[in-house]
Amino acid sequence: MFTEKGCLRFKVLGTRGSMAVTRKDQQFFGGNTSCYMIQAGEETVFFDAGSGLLNAPVDFPRPPHILLSHLHLDHVLGLGMYSRLSLKDRETLIYVPAGYGKDPARFLSGIFSPPYWPVSLDSYSGTVRILPLTFPLRIGDLLIEGVPGCHPGGNFIFRLSWQDRHIVYASDYEYETASFLRLIKMSDGADLVLLDSQYAASELEQRTGFGHSSPELGLKLMERCEIAHLLLVHHDPQRTDEQLLAWEAEIARKDIHFAREGEEILL
Ligand SMILES: [Zn+2]
Ligand SMILES: [Zn+2]
């Protein structure tokens, strides 16, 4: 076995929203953008490929599967510098939501090609397979389901299940009635739910349509369904460690915290 017997291993590689940051007063929660690694048995799945992907391991028992929730730059930029892609005889599978069109590679090559990037992803020495992301997706004994969220340009909410454990990923999500009902359905019974909390509720009034949420929405979600733990993600690039710690103290619940880059959770 690759992971501890019977354990699903979840790791935060990057949780900053919109833009990577390097300020000293943001190091505790981290500056890399969205990237989360999940390992169960011999399988590895990544949710998004922001700059946090640079801190991911390169060797796995089986080729890793990188699932992109959408193609905003903060969720894909890590691909360009992920060193596994440059290693011969290593295969990496990248999934682009099928809704973008019939040729998923075309959308990534729009970013990773001159003049925006020196080379295309298919010119790296490793084998890079870019596939359409459709649901349900089965990877070994992992099951990934997905439903549309609410975000400019579209986005997907993921639910990963392995044995009797469930993780829901709802980054880059703004409240809207129909999608919130879908989110409740996906989240019910989950061990861990990742929810976009880029803004405070007071800031959201000025940012309607930006595609993000607040910790208050997390509290509403927890009132509507059974969630063992809520992880607040996609921290605003201006948010300081002090502000996030103060928010946590205000929420004051053991079953809710703001994601810290590098933290691991065993389920
Ligand atoms: Zn984002
Ligand atoms: Zn986005």
Label residue 1 by pLDDT band (50, 70, 90).
Answer: very low
> Average pLDDT for residues 235-262, to the nearest whole number?
97
- Answer whether 231's CB lies under 8 Å from 192's CB: yes
Range of the domain at 109: 8-266
Q: How close is the Cα of 70 to the center of ligand 1, in Å?
A: 9
Q: With respect to residue 146, please indicate whether it lies within any of the assigned structural domains.
A: yes
Sheet holding 65-67, edge to edge: 127-133, 91-97, 65-67, 43-47, 35-40, 8-14, 264-266
> Does 179 have pLDDT greater than 80?
yes
- In this structure, which amino acid lies at residue 202? S
Average pLDDT for residues 161-190, to the nearest whole number? 97
Q: At what angle do helices 177-187 and 215-224 cross, to 10 degrees?
A: 60
Asked if the model's pLDDT at residue 183 lies above 90, the reply is yes
Q: Count CB atoms within 10 A of the CB of residue 171.
A: 31
78/33 Cα distance (integer angstroms): 9
Q: For residue 182, is it within any domain?
A: yes
Could you read off the pLDDT of 103-125 as tens digits, one per residue? 888 889 889 999 999 999 999 99
Ligand 2 centre distance from Cα of residue 70 (Å)? 7
**Distance from residue 172's CA to the centre of ligand 2 (Å):** 5
What is the CA(141)–ligand 1 centre distance, in A?
29
Q: Can you give the pLDDT at residue 99?
A: 82
Ligand 1 center–CA 32 separation, angstroms: 11
Ligand 2 mean position to 229 CA, how many Å?
A: 23
| Domain count for the chain | 1
CATH number of the CATH domain containing 248: 3.60.15.10
Instruction: Say what percent of the chain tops pLDDT 90.
Output: 91
